[in-house]
Chains A and B, each alone.
Chain A
Amino acid sequence: SQQGEEDPQALSIQEGENATMNCSYKTSINNLQWYRQNSGRGLVHLILIRSNEREKHSGRLRVTLDTSKKSSSLLITASRAADTASYFCATRSMDMGRRALTFGSGTRLQVQP
């Protein structure tokens, strides 16, 4: 079963605008990761934030994590047409014996040129 929900389910913006996607999860986590998936392809890891971190940056990506609200957000700044893809958050359990990632349902981002 999915860990939680992502919001919005779909987002359409113009090139150059910022895109914000939100993720909620249900259980205590070790870390939260964001992945991108182009249509019909495998997933590509974007960024990882640990449970004791509140914000992380990587290039045009900014991730926040609020463990008290069990939520995270991914901000993509100055979007490009090439950013068009589905974006998934994935959580790793606090149980160090478990390696499985639990994914959200994803946000489909369309960036119009």
Chain B
Amino acid sequence: DTGVSQDPRHKITKRGQNVTFRCDPISEHNRLYWYRQTLGQGPEFLTYFQNEAQLEKSRLLSDRFSAERPKGSFSTLEIQRTEQGDSAMYLCASSPLAGASEQYFGPGTRLTVT
């Protein structure tokens, strides 16, 4: 257990519904990242926050995806009008401001869109 928590751990939704995931990073970590991982592949970067500022976004983050970190602590990732192609594991990671680049990952939220 790295100390990064994600909720829910599993989510099944019907196509067209909206879903929201939450990530609670390690409390002293200023940086927070979201990744998506499909079966048999490595994680793909979605977006990155430093405190409450969203500093980096991947082209994978279409306009149906939005992420927030309003108080620089927990973060939410919302997917609107879900599609079957959104089915994946959504991973959150955090890291401190100083030091090396290693990231601490949460257990992930597995999304299944039916």
Q: Check B108–A45 contact: CB distance below 8 A.
A: no
Question: B48 within 8 Å of A by Cβ?
Answer: yes
Q: Check B101–A31 contact: CB distance below 8 A.
A: yes
Contacts of B45 in A (CB 8 A): 100-102
Question: A105 within 8 Å of B by Cβ?
Answer: yes
Question: B31 within 8 Å of A by Cβ?
Answer: yes
Contacts of B93 in A (CB 8 A): 43
Complex Cα distance, B108 from A106, in Å, reads 17
Interface size class of A (residues with CB under 8 A): 20 to 34
Q: Check A100–B91 contact: CB distance below 8 A.
A: no
A26-64 interface (Cβ within 8 A of B): 30-31, 33, 35, 40-45, 48
Q: Check B101–A43 contact: CB distance below 8 A.
A: no
Task: Report A92 CB to chain B, min CB distance, Å.
Answer: 5
Contacts of A2 in B (CB 8 A): 41-42, 44
Question: Per a CB cutoff under 8 Å, which of A40, A42, A97 touches B105?
Answer: A42
Q: Check B108–A42 contact: CB distance below 8 A.
A: yes
**Across the two chains, which residue of chain B brings its CB closest to A43?**
B105
Complex Cα distance, B93 from A1, in Å, reads 19
Complex Cα distance, B42 from A2, in Å, reads 7
Q: Check B41–A48 contact: CB distance below 8 A.
A: no
Question: B25 within 8 Å of A by Cβ?
Answer: no
Task: Report B31 CB to chain A, min CB distance, Å.
Answer: 6
Q: Check A99–B48 contact: CB distance below 8 A.
A: yes
Question: Per a CB cutoff under 8 Å, which of A33, A88, A100 touches B102?
Answer: A33
Q: Check A45–B102 contact: CB distance below 8 A.
A: yes
Which of A's residues lie within 8 Å of B, judged by CB? 1-2, 30-31, 33, 35, 40-45, 48, 88, 90, 92, 97-106
Which of B's residues lie within 8 Å of A, judged by CB? 2, 4, 31, 33, 35, 40-45, 48, 50, 55-56, 58, 89, 91, 93, 95, 100-108, 110
- In the A-B complex, the 8 residue pairs with the smallest Cβ-Cβ separation, listed nearest first, are A103-B42, A42-B105, A100-B45, A43-B105, A45-B102, A42-B107, A92-B101, A88-B42
